[in-house]
Structure 1
Amino acid sequence: MTVSDSWDMPLRTKLLARALSRSRGADRMQTYDEIARSRAWFAPARIPFTWVTGPVPRSVAIAGTGFRARDGHEVAVRTYRPRDAAGEVLPAVLWFHGGGWVLGNTRGYDPICAWIADRARVAVLNVDYRLAPEHRAPQAAHDCVDAARWAASEASGPDLRHTGLGLAGDSAGGNLAAVAAQVLLADGGADIAYEALLYPAVDATMSSPSVTEHAQAPILTRGDMDMFLAHYLGDGDDALDPVHPLVSPLHATDLSGLPPTLVQTADLDPLRDEGAAYAARLQAAGVEARHTNYPRVPHGFMSFPGATRVGAAARTELVDWVSRHARPGRVG
């Protein structure tokens, strides 16, 4: 994957995209060893990395907990709480990280999760759901649904509010948040008050015009998407159909009754149009849905706000949405 000088991005965004393109890509994610090495990496919480990712606020305490999934597997959860909220019952938002259901780790999302916890004064629960190809679809979706049901129960502890939960995530994590909201609406087990979907992957058919338009986009290419879905869906008789709602929430029959949803998309992203289509379908179903498309940025831009001109505005929109729905009447 190369980043052409023709991409209409600010110079600092283009330089970062070029650097990331040298270090990863579908051609480098073919073996378990390659995948494991990529999964293990995260940006250190120090300068100069924090100039790009944003700092982890010192006012936030990071800890760990976990829950037992439906099959008995112990799923780890990385937690973020304002340090001065000891003994306070906080609203909770579950975060599902991106990485194509194959890559990513919870620690790599410390900057954005801690920032949400600090600015919105909520507890963020960053779920270490199981990844493909070791655990194919719909295992990740099951883990995320189970995480929400755990957060809604007394088992998650007395310092969390067990109602009015939020679901949030980026890319594949946005997919999992949307899927979990649909499952919980249909089957129950948790009271979900809102969603926040950052450039979500909601259509595994990859049939939106932006997939073709941005097939060689910086950060995420069509080749990357093919690789991720091959690992996640698998093959053979037990592979999920790409239009199954547990993989493609855009293809669910009925979206009515879902909670208020923020959809943020990136203009130079193959996933742009499916995110916009999901927001439009929600609105047509009578759901409160807000869609904002951010110009001149590629997929993943919320993880490197310091390398963009719109990262701060997008994060402010996100935390205002969380604040408004987690704490009705309060704007962050």
Structure 2
Amino acid sequence: MTVSDSWDMPLRTKLLARALSRSRSADRMQTVDEIARSRAWFAPARVPFTWVTGPVPRGVDIGATSFRARDGHEVAVRTYRPRGSRGEVLPAVLWFHGGGWVLGNTRGYDPICAWIAHKARVAVLNVDYRLAPEHRAPQAAHDCVDAARWAASEGAGADIRHTGLGLAGDSAGGNLAAVAAQVLRTEGGAEVAYEALVYPAVDATMSSPSVAQHAQAPILTRGDMDMFLAHYLGDGDDALDPVHPLVSPLHAPELDGLPPTLVQTADLDPLRDEGAAYAEALRAAGVVVQHTNYPRVPHGFMSFPGATRVGGAARAELVDWVARHARQARHGTVG
């Protein structure tokens, strides 16, 4: 896929999008070995990479822990805490990374997770949920629900608050945060105070107008989406229907009772309209919603803020949302 000069993006965004599009495309993600190689890569936390991804703040301690999922599997969690907070009970936000339920890794999200921990003064729990095609839907959703229930338990440790949790993620991770919030609202097991959904994938039918409008968009194409869903859903009698709420939270029969939700979308993104539709559906159901659509940026822009004009503003909005709702949860207020 070639990034066309007709895309209305700043030059530095366009140049990065062209480079990323050359390095990864749907036709190169067909075998387990190719997928594994892509999963293993992350941008090093040094110049010049940090000019694009943003730095990992020095004032954050990065650690590791794990929890046991419902089937006994040990799920790793990468943790981020403001330095000097040892012994302090911090509000917790769970982060679910993007990558189409197929790609991505927790270490690649150090810049944004550490940034949230540093600026919002929260503990960020970056969950290494299981990926497709080795683990088909709804395994990733189950892992993320289990992660929230673990964070709400004493087993997660005494240095995080086990109530008033935040759920957040980008792209497929935004999907998983939305799914987990719905499951926990219905079935219980964790108190979720707020969500932050960054260009979330919430409708696996791919029927929104922006999917067709941006079918050949930079970073994420319709072909990429087809590939990701084929790996995630699989085929045969045990494959989940694309409209099942564990795959498409937009199609859940009831959206009332969900926590306040931030939805951030990118204007040059196939997922733009379904994110906007989810925000509107939540609002219609009486949920407190803040939706911001960022102009002249493609899918994934929050991971390369240095190559955009709005990446800093988007991160600031995200951090403000997390910090404000973490404070409100602490004091028993909502909104």
Q: TM-score range, shorter-chain basis?
A: over 0.9
How far, CA to CA, are the matches of 1:70 and 1:33 in structure 2? 28
The equivalent of 1:314 in structure 2 is 314
| Superposed displacement of residue 327, structure 1 | 1.0
| Superposed displacement of residue 204, structure 1 | 0.1
Q: Secondary structure at the match of 2:84?
A: helix
The within-5 A match list for 1:72-87 is: 72-87=72-87
> Is residue 279 from structure 1 mapped to residue 279 from structure 2 by the alignment?
yes
Counterpart of 2:122, as a letter, is V
The equivalent of 1:239 in structure 2 is 239
| Superposed displacement of residue 39, structure 1 | 0.1
How far, CA to CA, are the matches of 1:11 and 1:231 in structure 2? 33
The equivalent of 1:125 in structure 2 is 125
The equivalent of 1:88 in structure 2 is 88
The equivalent of 1:327 in structure 2 is 327
How far, CA to CA, are the matches of 2:217 and 2:316 in structure 1? 26
The equivalent of 2:2 in structure 1 is 2
The equivalent of 2:198 in structure 1 is 198
How far, CA to CA, are the matches of 1:82 and 1:291 in structure 2? 28
The equivalent of 2:134 in structure 1 is 134
How far, CA to CA, are the matches of 2:6 and 2:84 in structure 1? 48
The superposition leaves residues 205-257 of structure 1 with CA deviations (integer Å, 9 ceiling, x where unpaired) of 00000000000000000000000000000000000000000000000011000
The equivalent of 1:254 in structure 2 is 254
How far, CA to CA, are the matches of 1:291 and 1:57 in structure 2? 27
Q: Secondary structure at the match of 1:161?
A: coil
Counterpart of 2:96, as a letter, is F
Q: Secondary structure at the match of 1:162?
A: coil
| Superposed displacement of residue 187, structure 1 | 0.1
The superposition leaves residues 13-47 of structure 1 with CA deviations (integer Å, 9 ceiling, x where unpaired) of 00000000110010100001100000000000000
Higher mean C-alpha displacement, 65-74 vs 321-330:
321-330
The within-5 A match list for 1:159-308 is: 159-308=159-308
| Superposed displacement of residue 156, structure 1 | 0.1
TM-score computed with the length of structure 1 as normaliser? 0.99
Q: Secondary structure at the match of 2:55?
A: coil
Q: Secondary structure at the match of 2:166?
A: strand
Where in structure 1 do 4 or more consecutive aligned residues deviate above 6 Å?
none
Counterpart of 1:236, as a letter, is G
How far, CA to CA, are the matches of 2:16 and 2:327 in structure 1? 36
How far, CA to CA, are the matches of 1:254 and 1:33 in structure 2? 40
The superposition leaves residues 89-139 of structure 1 with CA deviations (integer Å, 9 ceiling, x where unpaired) of 000000000000000000000000000000000000000000000000000
How far, CA to CA, are the matches of 1:219 and 1:187 in structure 2? 36
Counterpart of 2:191, as a letter, is D
The equivalent of 2:45 in structure 1 is 45
How far, CA to CA, are the matches of 2:85 and 2:247 in structure 1? 37
Name the count of aligned residue pairs.
330
The equivalent of 1:102 in structure 2 is 102
Counterpart of 2:197, as a letter, is L
For the aligned residue pairs, the C-alpha RMSD in angstroms reads 0.8
Q: Secondary structure at the match of 1:186?
A: helix
The equivalent of 1:111 in structure 2 is 111
How far, CA to CA, are the matches of 1:315 and 1:229 in structure 2? 28
Structure 2 unaligned blocks of 5 or more: none
Counterpart of 1:287, as a letter, is V
How far, CA to CA, are the matches of 1:269 and 1:87 in structure 2? 42
Counterpart of 1:200, as a letter, is P
Counterpart of 2:123, as a letter, is A
| Superposed displacement of residue 84, structure 1 | 1.2
TM-score computed with the length of structure 2 as normaliser? 0.98
Structure 1 unaligned blocks of 5 or more: none
| Superposed displacement of residue 178, structure 1 | 0.1
Q: Secondary structure at the match of 2:150?
A: helix
Q: Secondary structure at the match of 1:66?
A: strand
How far, CA to CA, are the matches of 1:322 and 1:127 in structure 2? 17
How far, CA to CA, are the matches of 1:2 and 1:75 in structure 2? 37
Question: What is the percent sequence identity of the aligned residues?
Answer: 88
How far, CA to CA, are the matches of 1:137 and 1:2 in structure 2? 31
| Superposed displacement of residue 314, structure 1 | 0.2
How far, CA to CA, are the matches of 1:39 and 1:30 in structure 2? 13
